[in-house]
Homo-oligomer: A and B are copies of this chain.
């Protein structure tokens, strides 16, 4: 791999080293290090004070490359996202990232961003991140069944957490999507809806399957069918949701309610339904999933199942940090979801 062979860099900075501090305070380099790392032991108060003063005065900061080289830790965690178009602009990922960031920051960990593109996976660069000492641990969000590389983390040799999805043998923190499906179904059935459609996310995502299962099961318990003709894939995007809504309503004109696998698809669906002359919610009710910030600001505001994205991020990171601290128990944590009722659902028309 070619290196950028440019000049060293246009800048020159004072590299104050531990050596300088030692000289300035008339002690050995060991003493300085001891004071920095070993806390209260040994070193006499006067010496300690002198060194601390020198550190302050010189503005010394330990070089973390040198530190890391020594103790084999980078103090950086990687967040891996799938390679989609402008992935980081998606509020779903953004909420998770915010939660992870805040938790990591609290414990002094830095966050490295990485998108799992084709070459990244092909060249197994996710291993590099660990083996080249870039990061101490990794969190992956947005996984699908296609992400076969996840196998490699089952040996638990590299600290790894799957965020808001599951995979056999991997540690994860996930929202209760089965319950999400159930809550949506109960809400709609409770409003008297009987002819209901669903716009789901990709079929190769475990949580999407759980959501569908929970939704269909609960409808069935109430004697409501969810035939294949009432199911459409919305690909988790606004455009996909819009197209799916159009297909659904065209194929099943009598539909009075639609449940979507995320809020983006719901926003797209609402817009398309209105464009097709259906009023929401008086003609058709729509229930979303996730409760991203924007859900409250579409018109009508979206009734949705709240998955605690920020908290999922926090907890995932918490678990990873525990792991890094030596706790070696498998982790399968499920966080509860709840119904948030707004303006996009109403009693069935007929």
- Interface residues, chain A, with chain B CB atoms under 8 Å away: 1-4, 6-13, 15-16, 36-37, 39, 59, 61-66, 68-69, 71-74, 76, 79, 86-91, 93-95, 97-98, 101, 105, 107-108, 110-115, 117, 127-128, 130-134, 136, 156-159, 238, 264, 267-268, 270-271, 274, 292-294, 296-299, 301, 310, 323-328
Contact = CB atoms under 8 A, between A and B. Distances in A.
A308 B163 CA distance: 31
A65 B61 contact: no
Contacts of A271: 297, 299, 301
Given A13-B157, A267-B294, A97 B88 contact: yes
A33 B299 CA distance: 61
Contacts of A68: 65
State the 9 A-B residue pairs at the shortest beta-carbon distance, nearest first: A89-B94, A6-B325, A7-B326, A299-B299, A86-B98, A267-B297, A65-B68, A88-B97, A65-B69
Given A94-B94, A238-B297, A101 B88 contact: yes
A222 to B, nearest CB: 31
A76 B326 contact: no
Contacts of A105: 115, 117
Contacts of A86: 94-95, 98, 293, 310
B115 A113 contact: no
Contact of A325 (B4, B62, B131, B298): B4
A345 to B, nearest CB: 16
A90 B94 contact: yes
A323 B10 CA distance: 7
Contacts of A114: 110-111
Contact of A11 (B39, B115, B157, B264): B157
25 contacts: A2-B39, A4-B107, A6-B324, A9-B72, A10-B326, A11-B159, A61-B128, A61-B131, A61-B132, A63-B69, A65-B65, A65-B66, A65-B69, A65-B74, A86-B94, A86-B95, A88-B101, A89-B292, A89-B310, A105-B115, A110-B114, A111-B113, A238-B296, A270-B299, A298-B299
Most buried by B among A36, A94, A310: A94
Given A64-B133, A89-B292, A325-B4, A112 B110 contact: yes
Contacts of A130: 13
A159 B11 CA distance: 8
A326 to B, nearest CB: 4
A268 to B, nearest CB: 6
Contact of A98 (B89, B131, B157, B325): B89
B298 A297 contact: yes
Given A101-B115, A299-B298, A238 B293 contact: yes
